Structure 1
C-alpha cells in the first residue's frame, strides 16, 4: 500500500514528493555476503567428488564433495523427480548447527515424488544416469554436472567453478584481523626467537596498513556483524552464505525472478547489480532496475526455439542472481557430445545464484515445452486456487473511503452510471487508531449494516489487516499476543519492537503454527466484531515493513519460532501471513466458502492463498507500460491472480492515461483501482464524458468475458498454466515473439495490445503464427499471423484479437455485479481457423463454494468442424449441479458461404431449424436463440 519509510503520515501529506530513496536499500557492495560471493573467481574449481563416497539408489545418487583448498566436505544428493525433474541438494557434511530448510507444506506442497534414475556409466572420473530423454553426467574432478538432451548440453552446474558454501564456524576459530590468529599465543622458545628475529624488534611499530589491507579487515568484521547506515546486524552464526553457478548452453533468452520493475526478458547484470530477491517496502519504486521489491520467486525459465527449461532455487533468505550472455566454450563439452558441427558460435546464458543462509536446494525443470515447465513447477509449489467469481471482477479501492455515507455514495455512483462493481475496499483509516480487527466508531458505527447493504446488491467488501500490532495494553490483539508470547523476538529474547502505521508495534511470529491459528481465530465474526462473511481481507506491509528498521524491514538478527533468525526466513514472512488469513477465512465459513485475500509480499507457493499486486506504482505512462512485463512474469512463475493498481497509487493521472489504464487492466487477471490518500478522487464518473464512456465500456467488456476468465482460472488450477502470458508461450518456436512485452495473450484465444503512450493514432501489433488467422473482436476483420500490423486506435478501444480456431463463451447482459448474471444466457463467439475449425470450453459452478471439488460443476467442450458445432460434457456426472443459463446466440466469424439452413439437435429438445443472419462482407454468421440449456449436449448443423 504505502511505503513511507519512517516519515509520518502528516509529514508526507505536507510535502508530497515522490522518489525512491536508493540510499535506504543496499547495493551488492553494501551486502557483505553478496560482495564475497560475487568475488568468487571463475574457474577456481576447488571441489572434487570423492568417488569412494558414491552411494547409488534407484532414484538418487549421493556423494561427498571435497574442497581441495580447505579440506572441508559437502554432502550432495541428486534425485530424479516424477514429472521430468531433477533435484540437487548440497549441504555441509556435519554443520556446526542446522541450516534452515522450509518445512514441507510451506513452500513445497508435499515431498516431491521420486522417479528412477537409470544408471548408464560409472567410472573413477564420472557417473552418468538417465531420466527419461535426459542424460545427467556428474564429473568428478573438477566437480560439475551436465544435462544432455537430444545429444546437446542444455544445462551445466558448477561449470564456472563458483560453488561456494561458507561453512559455519566458531568465532574464536576465525582470524579477526590479519595481524595474528584470534586467541593464539606468542611463539615461545627458539622458534619464537627465530620469528622475532625475522620480524625485527618486538616493540617495533607495525607499518601503516594499506587501503587494501584495511578493506580486508573490514570484510572480516562483516562476517560477524555488519553495519548499514545506523543499523548494526549481529551474526551470531557468522558467515553462512551459499552460492552456485548454472549455465544454459544454446539459450539466449531467460525469464522470471519476480519481483522487479523491469523488462520481461532478463538482462545481463555485467554492468549492474545482480537481480535481488529480498522482500522490501520500496516507496515509489524505480523502473528498469534489478532492485528488490515486495515479493520474491526464485524461478528462472530458459527458452529457445528448440526447448524450454526451468530452475527453482528453493531458498527463502536474501538472494542475488547474476546473469551473463556469453558464447559457449565448446571444448568443455567435447568429451560429452559432439555439441555442434562446424564453426558457428553457440550462445549461452550463465547464471550465478547466492543466498545469505540455508542450503543449496535446486529443482531443475526439464520441460521440454513451456507448458511442461509450468506443470512441473505446479507439482512442486501448487497452483492458483480457483477464486470466487467476484475476485476476478472489478474492484474499487482508495486510501481511504471516509465513512459509511461515503461507501454508500460510491456504490450508488456505480449503479447510477451503469458501471459494474463487485468489491468496495477500505484502507487503514477505517480502523480505531490503526488497531486492526476494529472499526472507527465515529466513521463506521454500523459496519455490519453497511456490509449487508453492499452485499444486498451482490457485492462484497474488503478491509485491510496488516501484520504490525499496535503496542497498546488496552488493545485485545496486543494484550493476548503479549501474554501468549506470540511476537517475533529480539536476540535477547524480548519482544521485537519497531515503528509502523500505529506507531510502536510488534510483529506476530507467523512461522509458529500456534500464531497462525491465533490469527485465524481473530478473523472469526465473534472476534472481528463488526465483520460478516461478506467481508474479505487485504494483507499489506507484510514484507514485513518496519519504518525504522534496516532497509525499512525487520532486523536480520530478530528470532522466530524454532530459534531461526529472521535472515533465514525473511522472504517467507509475507506468505505465512497470507496463509494465516486464508485459513482464517476458511475457518469462519466452516471450510465452505472460497477465501479471497490480497497480499503485497509473496514467495513461491503464495499462489495457493490468493491474489497479489505490484505495490506502490505511480500514475505515469511508464508505470502503465511496465505493468505488462511485471504481470506476465508473475504468471510465468505460477502467480496468476495478479494485477497492478489502475491509475497508479501515486499522483493524479490525466484522463487519457486513466482511461488507457482501465482498458489495459480489463484484460489483466486482478482488476482493482486504487489511489493514495493525497490524490484527487478518481471514480470513473468524475472523468470527462468521452473518457467515462470509454471506461464504462472497458469494465463492461471485462464482465462480458467473465465466463472465459473463470474457465481459464479453473483450468489454471488444474494445470498450473499462466493466464496472462507472453506470446512465446503459445508460439515457442517463433523467435520474433521472445522479447515482445507490449502485448500479451489472455489464455490462448485472445491477444491484447494495450495503448501505453499518450496521444497516439495507431500502434504496431505483432500477430504471431504464419499459419494463424486473427480476428478483431470489434469488427471481426481478419488479419494474417506471422507479421506486424499497424492498427489505428481511438479513445474508445484498444486492439484486441481473437485467434482463429477458438470459441469463447461470453455473457452479453451486463449486471451491476457478476453473481447477478449467474442464470443469464451465453453467447458463443467462434472464430474459424484456416481449415474452418474451432474449439473452446466453458466451466460453471456455484462461483463461491468448494462443492466443485466433489464434482458439482459443469464443464463443456465445444468443437466446430465439418459444418457441425458440437457441445459435449467433460464432467458427465455433474453431481446434481444444474444451471438455468441457456444458449442465446452463436456468432461464427470466417464463414465463406451462407448456409441454406441450420438445425439444432439435443437429448431434451426436438430437432429444430434455427434463425440466422449472414453478413458476406464480414463473413459473419449469427445464429439466434438456440434456446437450449447450456449444460446439455447438443449439435448445431450447418447445411
Structure 2
C-alpha cells in the first residue's frame, strides 16, 4: 500500500515511479563494493588435514587463512569447518570463526526443525584431498590447499563446486583501536582494521554506526554442465536468471519499493537465497542460509552477453558451466548443497529443509475482493450484496488500514465500523469470511493500550543507543515490536484472542503488510541496520555482544512477525482451525505460515506478465501460495486488461483483486455488462476447479512440490522449455498460457512431451493436440489457452455457488483425458476444509483410474475416512476411440446400469448420473 500525500511529505517519492536514489547500488553497499572486486588467483583458505575428524554424519576440521604474499605463509586466522550429510542427498557446509570476538549470527527460523542426518564415510585421504561419500552414492572431494569442495553426482561427475574461483571470504571480527605510532598489529600478530569505513557507513543522510565492524562473508558456487540457473526471488527479472557482469548483482534485501520496476535485479519485498542449476544432465541446488543483506552474482557462460574471450579465459574452451557468488553483510558461511538430480528431487530437498505450506482453509483458495479501503460497514454490505446480485462467487472481503481507530491495530473505527460483530455475521451467513490488516508498526500515542504495554514491558526494537526506536509509517510516529523477544511475541499473540479483539471470530483472518519492515523515514525506506534486537542473555556477554543488530536479521524480521501471528490464530481457536495469513515480506520458511502476493503492482500489461514468472520463481523456492493484485494496485485498467487479469488470476494459487484508494472503483459489475460477464466466467472457472486446487495444496503439503510449475520441472530434457516463463503447469495435469498481450488474437503455446507422445486436450472444446513444441492457438477476449494432459483425470464441481462453503456436498464431474494407451489417472483430497482434523485421519485421499475395463475409485490412505455427502453426477471421457456398449456401477453390494452418450464429433463419451458416493470406494465396469 502507498498513500501519495504522506510519502511526498516525507520525501520518499517525487513521482509515480521507483526512485532509484532511495535504494543502494552495489557500489553504495559497503561490503558489496569491498568484496565484489576481490578475485584472487589462489584462495587464502587451507584445510588443516591433521585436524580432520569424521564421525557419524559429519566431518569437522580446522581451516586457516594463510598470507600468500609472504614467503613464510604465516597463519592469519583460524576457522571451524563442519560438513554434514543429510538423508535425502543434501550436504551442509558451515564455516565460522574458531574463536570469534563475539558470536556471529546464525539464521534461526528458516529451517523446519533440525535436518535429518545421513551417514558420511571417509573413502580416501590422499595427496592433499579427502573423499567422502553418503549412503546414496554422492561424493565430496575436499582439496586442502587451496580449500575447495567438489560435489560429485552418482555417476562420479562434478555437479557443484564451492570455492573453485577462490572467492571464499569470512571477514573476522575485530576490536576497534586507534592507531598507535607505526604499530599496525594488535600484539597477537593480527593486523588492525584502521579504515574508518569498517566501523561506519553513510547512505544519503543516514549514518550506520557498524559497532562490530566489517563481518561480511562470501562464497562462489560453480555448476558444471548447467544450462540455466533459477531462484533467488523476489525479483521481476526472468525465471531463468541473467548474467550480472553488466550492472549490479541480484540483491536480496526486503524493501518497500514504491512502484517497483519490471525486468530488474533490484530488491523488493522478499528474499529467498536459494539457487537451482538445471541442464540436460542434472538439476542441483544451493541454499545460502543467511538472513543479512545479500548480493548474488551470476555468470552463465552459455549466455550471449558473456564475451567469448571471457569464456575461453575462465573455462579454457567451450566447457559449459555457470558461476554464482553469494556475498552477505554478516553471518557465517552456512550453505546446503542439494544434489537432486531431477527438478522434482531438488525442489523436494529444499522444502524438506524449510518446510511446506499447511493445507490452507478451503475458503482461502476461492476469490478474494479487496480495496484500500472499503470505507464503512455500509460499503462492505453493498459490495457483499453486489456479488450476489451479479451471481459472482466470492469467499472473502478485505479491509485495509482505514478500518482501525486512527491506524491503531487491534481496534475498530468507532464510527465507520461500530458494529464489527454484526458485519462479520452478515458475511458468514452466506459462507463468506473477512480479512483485516495488522502491520508491525505501532502508533506512538499516549493511551493506546498496545503502545503503553509495549513501552512498559520493554517490547520494542531499540535504536543504536539502546533507546526505543522511533520511525514513521502509516500512523505517523511509530515503534516496532521486536518479535525476536519471546515476551514481545507472547504479548502480540495475546492481542489476537477473541476476548482481546472484540468483533473477531474464527471467520476473521489477517493480512500482515509493511513487514519488511517498511519505515518511511529510514534508510532505503526500512529500519536502520544498527538498531538493536533481543538476544537471549549469555554469561559474560555485555555491550554489543548482548544484542543482535538489525543488519543480522533484516530479511528474517517479517518471518518472525508472520510466525507470531500464525501461532496466535491457532492458539485463539484452541488448535482447532487452520489460519489464513497474507504476508508481503518473504524469507525462506515463510511458506509454513502464510500466503504471499507480488506487492504493489501497476495496471499495465507488463505487470500481468511479470506475475507469472514471479510466482513461478517463488513456487520453486518453496512458496506456492502466490498471486498478484488482479487488475493492478495502481492506475486504472481498461476492460481488456481487467478481463485478461481475471482470466490469469483464476489459474494462480492466490486469487485476489486489490486496488489503491486513488483508483476508480472496479468491482466487476462497474464495467460494461459484457466485461462483467467475462469476469464472472473467469471466477466461475476458478470455483469449478476448487477441488483440484485443494488436492494440489494437499499434495504439496505431503510431498513438497510446487503447485504452479515451470515446464522444465516435469519435462527436464526439453531444452526449449528451460527458459519458458509465460506459461506453466498446475501440478502435472493442466497447462495454462495466460494472454498477457493487448489485442491478442492468437497465443504462442508450447506443448511439452514430444518424445513421449503426450496428448493435450483443450479444456473448452476437448480438441486434442499431440505435443510437438510450439504452435499458435487462436484466442478471443473470452478465451485463454488451457489444456488437460492426456492420461489425467480432473475433478470439477459444475454447480458453482456464491462461496466455497456452500459447495461442500455438491456433486463432482470427472474429466477423463485419455493418453495414447487409452488410460488415465487422477487424485482427490476431501476433508472438512477448515480444521486440523485431517491430522487424525479424518479425510479422504483417493485415486481415480481409467482403463479399457472401466473406472475405479480407491482410497490411497486406507486408514483414513471422511463422511462426505458428495457424489459423482457425471463422467466425461475425452479421446475415446472404442466406446463401451454397457457401463455398470459397482458400489458395495449394489450394481447399477448407467446411461452413456457418445459425441462422435470430438470423441467424447459422457457417463450420465452414475450417483457414486465419494465416501466409499466404487468401480464402473465396461462391456464392449
TM norm structure 2:
0.94
SS, match of residue 505 in structure 1: strand
The offset of 1:483, in angstroms, is 0.5
Structure-1 separation of matches of 2:587 and 2:186: 45
SS, match of residue 931 in structure 1: strand
Mapped contact 2:438–2:511 kept (Cα < 8 A): yes
Cα deviation digits, residues 794-838 of structure 1 (max 9, x gap): 111100000000000110000100110000000110000111110
Structure-2 separation of matches of 1:297 and 1:726: 18
The offset of 1:312, in angstroms, is 0.6
Aligned match for 2:216, one of 208, 233, 241: 241
The offset of 1:8, in angstroms, is 5.5
The offset of 1:304, in angstroms, is 1.1
Does residue 253 in structure 1 map to residue 228 in structure 2? yes
Alignment correspondent of 1:60: 58
Q: How does 1:65-464 map to 2 (within 5 A)?
A: 65-69=63-67, 71-103=76-108, 106-131=109-134, 132-149=136-153, 150-172=155-177, 220-326=195-301, 345-464=318-437
Cα deviation digits, residues 859-882 of structure 1 (max 9, x gap): 110111233111101122335x20
Mapped contact 1:280–1:292 kept (Cα < 8 A): yes
Alignment correspondent of 2:71: none
Mapped contact 2:176–2:193 kept (Cα < 8 A): no
Aligned match for 1:740, one of 724, 739, 751: 724
Change (3 A) 1:839 1:9: farther
Mapped contact 2:366–2:690 kept (Cα < 8 A): yes
Structure-1 separation of matches of 2:837 and 2:420: 30
Q: How does 1:823-838 map to 2 (within 5 A)?
A: 823-838=809-824
SS, match of residue 914 in structure 2: coil
Alignment correspondent of 2:710: 726
The offset of 1:124, in angstroms, is 4.7
The offset of 1:218, in angstroms, is 13
Mapped contact 2:10–2:521 kept (Cα < 8 A): no
Q: How does 1:273-672 map to 2 (within 5 A)?
A: 273-326=248-301, 345-562=318-535, 563-672=547-656
Cα deviation digits, residues 575-616 of structure 1 (max 9, x gap): 111111111111111110000010000110000002011111
SS, match of residue 942 in structure 1: strand
Unaligned runs of 5+ in 2: 68-74, 304-314, 536-546
The offset of 1:432, in angstroms, is 0.7
Aligned match for 1:786, one of 753, 772, 789: 772
Mapped contact 2:284–2:346 kept (Cα < 8 A): yes
Cα deviation digits, residues 488-538 of structure 1 (max 9, x gap): 011221101000000000000001122111111001121112222211100
The offset of 1:844, in angstroms, is 0.3
Structure-1 separation of matches of 2:673 and 2:697: 34
Mapped contact 2:856–2:923 kept (Cα < 8 A): yes
Aligned match for 1:906, one of 869, 891, 904: 891
Structure-2 separation of matches of 1:417 and 1:219: 71
Change (3 A) 1:327 1:260: closer
Unaligned runs of 5+ in 1: 186-216, 329-341
Mapped contact 1:51–1:140 kept (Cα < 8 A): yes
Structure-1 separation of matches of 2:791 and 2:477: 59
Alignment correspondent of 1:34: 32
Structure-2 separation of matches of 1:5 and 1:381: 40
SS, match of residue 932 in structure 1: strand
Aligned match for 1:897, one of 872, 882, 896: 882
Cα deviation digits, residues 139-195 of structure 1 (max 9, x gap): 01111010122132111110000011110001117x69xx9557999xxxxxxxxxx
Cα deviation digits, residues 617-670 of structure 1 (max 9, x gap): 100000001111000001001101111100111000111001100000000000
SS, match of residue 115 in structure 1: coil
Structure-1 separation of matches of 2:115 and 2:875: 45
Cα deviation digits, residues 445-464 of structure 1 (max 9, x gap): 11110011111100000111
| Structure ID, larger Rg | 1
Alignment correspondent of 2:19: 21
Alignment correspondent of 1:766: 750
Alignment correspondent of 2:46: 48
Change (3 A) 1:117 1:3: farther
The offset of 1:675, in angstroms, is 0.2
Change (3 A) 1:919 1:309: same
Change (3 A) 1:729 1:590: same
Alignment correspondent of 2:846: 860
The offset of 1:66, in angstroms, is 1.7
Mapped contact 2:174–2:193 kept (Cα < 8 A): no
Structure-2 separation of matches of 1:219 and 1:836: 75
The offset of 1:43, in angstroms, is 2.5
Cα deviation digits, residues 31-89 of structure 1 (max 9, x gap): 11011110111433111111111112131111112211162121111110111110000
Mapped contact 2:627–2:653 kept (Cα < 8 A): yes
Mapped contact 2:330–2:552 kept (Cα < 8 A): yes
Alignment correspondent of 1:872: 858
TM norm structure 1:
0.92
Structure-1 separation of matches of 2:798 and 2:183: 79
Cα deviation digits, residues 329-348 of structure 1 (max 9, x gap): xxxxxxxxxxxxx9983211
Mapped contact 1:724–1:745 kept (Cα < 8 A): yes
Change (3 A) 1:92 1:10: closer
Change (3 A) 1:183 1:751: closer
Structure-1 separation of matches of 2:551 and 2:85: 30
Alignment correspondent of 2:538: none
Structure-2 separation of matches of 1:515 and 1:343: 56
SS, match of residue 264 in structure 2: coil
Does residue 842 in structure 1 map to residue 817 in structure 2? no
Aligned residues: 890
The offset of 1:442, in angstroms, is 1.1
Structure-1 separation of matches of 2:848 and 2:919: 12
Mapped contact 1:172–1:183 kept (Cα < 8 A): no
Alignment correspondent of 1:2: 2
